[in-house]
Amino acid sequence: MTKTLIGTPDEEPRKRSRRKRANNEGTVYQRADGKWCGQVYVLTADGTEKRKTVYGKTADEARAKIQEMKLKSRRGVPAADRAWKVGDYLDYWLNDVARHSIRKTTFAKYETIVRLYLKPGLGRKKLDRLTVAEVQTFLNGKINGEDHAIGTVHVMRNVLSAALTRAMREEIISRNVARLATLPAIDSKRNQPWTADEARSFLRAARFDPLYPAFVLLLLYGLRRGEALGLRWVDVDFEEGHVNIRRQLVRVGKELHHGPVKTRAGNRSLPLLGIVREALEIQRDGQEILKEEAGKDWANTGLVFTTKSGRPIEPRNLARSFARIVETNGLRPIRVHDLRHTAASLLKKLGVAPRDAMEILGHSRISVTMEIYTHGDGESREDALKKVNGLFE
């Protein structure tokens, strides 16, 4: 291939080329096909200097691109050391970045989204050439052409956006095209929480269920399901009168994982209320009986809520027991997670300050608590209109 070097007329091409590389000024030449090419050594992401090539329609365009790369290199901004495909970068982001910075349950969800949707749809595209239109077309196809809930499509965009944000930090791309794609809003319909009367009816109906003490914790403290099932006896202080929420039990893929609670705010100490103390004492006595019956087959997990052999309770089984009690006793159906919302709503009706409710529920942000506190319901609306009516009677 013939190269036309740009330099002074009296310079020998080979000699000038060496000088340019030594001074790191870069080399610009014209290829046989007429295109202009520029090469310069710059800092890359692995901390070494490598020769990078740019192309332009004219010599000035190629030279300008070299100058831009040199300027970034002087500032310590690394150039991409490889031509990433979207799928390859998603694999790298999942295993080398996300795995070490997010919870196992969240990682499992992200991995599923990447494997089932993002890589098949966008994986072969060049990362630095991915466009808003390509991402938008991909997301629109998931909404219109396939049976995906809009919430799932939002998760697809969020996962892709998280990966592209990392790519921006690594100076591989200059913008996050996933953020610029638009989606319809998620319908945020939620079940109305139970009233105090409905909650009392449920506890009466669940009184003789083996998981009754767990339901008490869910309703009175607003614990997450995993927090209740992850509670250990060492976390219950009968003498000082405290229940310490420290760990949670969650399913990650094919395994039950017993680990720290969701956030730092979730790590909290709550007073041992009378009905909770009674329920936990019943649970402790019942577990002693099960331990004697199991004998050597008993698994000493230290958990408050266990199977007949001492092993952890599958979270889905708690949800099934809850649904069975609700249906059998003709109660208004809600999800087991809505017991947490019920607890928050009862705190609101009792006039508990939002900051105190936030600490009781283990919310990491006050905005989450305020969303519940400012969410109206039929009962509160009726009370408000009765007050208005009283002004005119």
**376 vs 57, which has greater pLDDT?**
57
Going by C-beta distance under 8 Å and a sequence separation of 6 or more, which residues neighbour residue 258?
Answer: 230, 247, 248, 249, 301, 303, 312
Structure tokens at 390: 């009283």
Comparing 4-74 with 196-381, is the CATH topology the same? no
Mean pLDDT along residues 192-219: 94
The yes-or-no verdict on residue 7 having pLDDT over 80 is no
32-45 pLDDT, tens digit per residue, is 888 898 888 877 66
Element (H, E) at 86: helix 86-92
Structure tokens at 291: 């331990």
Q: Quote the mean pLDDT of the chain.
A: 85
Question: pTM for this one?
Answer: 0.66
Name the CATH code of domain 86-180 (choices 3.30.110.30, 3.30.70.100, 1.10.150.130, 2.30.29.30): 1.10.150.130
Which pLDDT score is estimated for 115? 94
Which pLDDT score is estimated for 264? 84
Cβ–Cβ < 8 Å for 174, 77: no
Name the CATH code of domain 4-74 (choices 3.90.1310, 3.30.160, 2.60.40, 3.40.50): 3.30.160
Cβ–Cβ < 8 Å for 181, 161: no
If 0-12 CB within 10 Å is exposed, 13-18 middle and 19+ buried, where does residue 108 land? middle
Mean pLDDT along residues 327-334: 95
Tell me the pLDDT band of 351, cut-offs 50, 70 and 90: confident
What is d(CA 311, CA 278) in angstroms, rounded to the nearest whole number?
23
Domain boundary assignment for the chain:
4-74, 86-180, 196-381
In the CATH scheme, what is the code of domain 196-381? 1.10.443.10
